[in-house]
Chains A and B, each alone.
Chain A
Amino acid sequence: MAILKVKDVSKRFGGLKALTNVNLDVEENSVHAIIGPNGAGKSTLLNCLVGKLMPDTGAVLFDNASVLGLEPFQINQMGISRVFQTPEIFGELTVIENMLIPIFAMRDGVFRMHAYETIANEKAIVEQAEAMLEEMNMADKREMHAASLSRGDKRRLEIGMCLSQNPRLLLLDEPTAGMARADTNNTIDLLKQIKDERDITIAIIEHDMHVVFSLAERITVLAQGTPLVEDTPENIRGNPKVREAYLGEAA
């Protein structure tokens, strides 16, 4: 079953057609990559899925419910978590607090006035956050300010924050952009581990072919705002159209 359905989505910025009639199905419990050269419209497409941009036409269905017109926090509450191109974390807060916030958000919803309770008394939530830190191999950095983490650790923390919400769909926008090879491989391993251990659907936007071919089960190639082809990694590798539009430039 397709958990995410994008139907005929188009988006213009003034005269520029960023997306034209995009159709895309992401199967439940799969890893689906969206690739394409710079400016192809990958980030624009992602922003249409999470409530940041409103497409001009078309529909976006998550679990057969429309997400268009909803606020990002409402879409997140439906079960979609997003990892940003540059890690978005709470820099002034400690690592453990970063991990607590998404778990509170899952339990308490978009707003709750829990002003007289004490965090330390929320034992179940603290345990969950600590377990997630453990899983991310960051337990030793518990009390550090998130801003002082290394680039790779910030990325790990952000992914951990998203996972702590047990999302049904995890969206990643170029999660390894600007990373050194070692950090990239770490992130690939982490994502592989997540895919193996959880019932989760992952949609990943990526520029780096190494990352895409290590992870994806399906690949959609986007060029100039339209999907060119959608297929398995093996077939994409051999597809001459793709080579011409995209891989040729990378090889």
Chain B
Amino acid sequence: MFGLNKKDTSLLIIVGLLTLLAPFILNPFPEGSAMAQFNAGYPDLMQRFVIFGIFAIGFNILFGLTGYLSFGHAAFLGVGSYSAVWMFKLLSYNIIPAIALSVVVAGVFSLLIGYVSLRRSGIYFSILTLAFAQMSFALAYSVLSNPKFNLTNGETGLQVYADDPQILQGANSPDLPHLFGLPMRATYTMDVGAWSFDFNAGYYFCAIVMMVVFYLSIRIFRSPFGMMLRAVKSNQQRMNYTGLNSKPYTLAAFVISGMYAGLAGGLMAAMDPLAGAERMQWTASGEVVLMTILGGTGTLIGPVLGAGFIKYFENIFSKINDSVLHSWFAFLPDGLEDAVVFVIHPFIGKGWHLTLGILFMLVVIYLPGGLVEGGQRLLNRIKRKKPKTDDATSGKTEPAE
């Protein structure tokens, strides 16, 4: 179906169903119960899951296929956000022109940065992209924000003001980002018994966009072009002597992944019409690297899993505090309760980075293929427990799942 083989089609359908039903899946605990804080089904977080999913899917096209590790992709995310907010300021709050410009500007920007950075490979390439991203950050933070020429509005961040032209803004259209009149904030809440589920317009818009670009990434992975990108990673010397110029292939992958990042940045602004320089900082670039590696570099679904995993940690683990812990361990004798809380304390709340760091190390050391490899091993183990007749061959590892 859709020009995909059976396995890829079922992957696409499964991911489609999961994103469609996410408001249910992510809110398994009843409102007000002790476990409710582990619910992730609120619009804000769900939007972030899919937006960072898009960012990571694009990053994986460059890093997963060609092996070129960029440490500057947040620059394209930021550029996308700024472009979108400028469209809001100049034209209207309709998100379509905003997102279109985000992708185009990020594409042009990544063409320039990619062209220069790809003169080197390996660690030098990574350093060049990092340098470019930090330069972009500095430009956005201060240089391009002065009274004479204010492109980014510096520290405050770029936003829409009442005296902005907004030449296409209709009299009746909502005064916040919308899709032809449908506000992105619009949310329908469904209450079922003790449960509560949010269906948010912005989330579903992002989810549809993610499904489209996820589909495109599968097409790229399975195309002759995708095979050439894997050849770049495998042996550039052989490629060169086989009549192929590896430079334009790598540059094309760089620009595609830059456009994915720009799209993610545009969507971020479409959910919340604000763009700040911190979005371009190197920590943001590092985050997408972590997402991709954690989920499974070079696999189709890995980056999405990695993005979801990290965003979940960032938003859920960071909210657990000592009083929550005390309520969990209240059944223990007082002295023991304090001791347990004392031990766990560094890993929660602001310490979630520590937990994430440890998990990341464990994954890199024991599961170099990331969460996808973990899932495969688990599946294989389950399969082996239930002895079937002919699964002896399916135990082989298969890449690009």
Residues of A within 8 A of B (CB): 50, 71-73, 76-77, 81-82, 84, 88-93, 97, 100-102, 104-106, 108-122, 161, 165
Most buried by A among B219, B224, B234, B238: B224
Interface of B: prevailing SS: helix
Which A residues lie within 8 Å of B233 (CB)? Answer: 92
Q: List 15 A-B contacts (CB under 8 A).
A: A73-B241, A76-B241, A88-B237, A88-B238, A90-B238, A91-B235, A93-B227, A97-B230, A101-B231, A111-B249, A112-B225, A115-B220, A115-B226, A116-B220, A120-B5
Which B residues lie within 8 Å of A84 (CB)? Answer: 237, 241
Which A residues lie within 8 Å of B355 (CB)? Answer: none
Most buried by A among B235, B237, B238: B238
Instruction: Known A76-B241, A111-B245; judge A104-B234 contact (CB<8 A).
Output: no
Do the beta carbons of A105 and B235 come within 8 Å of each other?
no
User: Nearest 8 A-B pairs (CB), nearest first?
Assistant: A76-B243, A115-B225, A105-B243, A110-B245, A90-B234, A88-B238, A111-B248, A92-B234
Distance, CA A165 to CA B241, complexed state (A): 11
Shortest CB-to-CB span from B401 to chain A, Å, is 15
Distance, CA A126 to CA B241, complexed state (A): 21
**Residue B228 CB within 8 A of the other chain:** yes
Do the beta carbons of A88 and B241 come within 8 Å of each other?
yes
Do the beta carbons of B223 and A117 come within 8 Å of each other?
yes
Residues of B within 8 A of A (CB): 3, 5, 219-220, 222-228, 230-231, 233-235, 237-245, 248-249, 252, 256
Shortest CB-to-CB span from B256 to chain A, Å, is 8
Distance, CA A90 to CA B219, complexed state (A): 21
Do the beta carbons of A102 and B243 come within 8 Å of each other?
yes
Do the beta carbons of A119 and B5 come within 8 Å of each other?
no
Residue of chain A at shortest CB distance from B4 = A118
Instruction: Known A73-B241, A102-B243, A111-B244; judge A93-B226 contact (CB<8 A).
Output: no
Which A residues lie within 8 Å of B243 (CB)? Answer: 73, 76-77, 102, 105-106, 109-110, 165
Shortest CB-to-CB span from A243 to chain B, Å, is 35
Which B residues lie within 8 Å of A118 (CB)? Answer: 3, 219, 222-223
Distance, CA A73 to CA B238, complexed state (A): 10
Which B residues lie within 8 Å of A112 (CB)? Answer: 224-225
Shortest CB-to-CB span from A115 to chain B, Å, is 4
Distance, CA A112 to CA B227, complexed state (A): 12
Contact of B234 among A77, A91, A110, A161 (CB under 8 A): A91
Which B residues lie within 8 Å of A50 (CB)? Answer: 241
Shortest CB-to-CB span from B369 to chain A, Å, is 13
Most buried by A among B219, B233, B235, B241: B241
Shortest CB-to-CB span from B396 to chain A, Å, is 10
Which A residues lie within 8 Å of B252 (CB)? Answer: 113, 115
Instruction: Known A88-B235, A118-B3; judge A101-B225 contact (CB<8 A).
Output: no
Distance, CA A194 to CA B223, complexed state (A): 31
Distance, CA A165 to CA B242, complexed state (A): 9
Do the beta carbons of B227 and A105 come within 8 Å of each other?
no
Which B residues lie within 8 Å of A115 (CB)? Answer: 219-220, 223, 225-226, 252, 256
Do the beta carbons of A110 and B244 come within 8 Å of each other?
yes
Shortest CB-to-CB span from B185 to chain A, Å, is 35
Contact of B219 among A93, A116, A122, A165 (CB under 8 A): A116
Do the beta carbons of B240 and A72 come within 8 Å of each other?
yes
Do the beta carbons of B249 and A119 come within 8 Å of each other?
no
Distance, CA A161 to CA B252, complexed state (A): 25
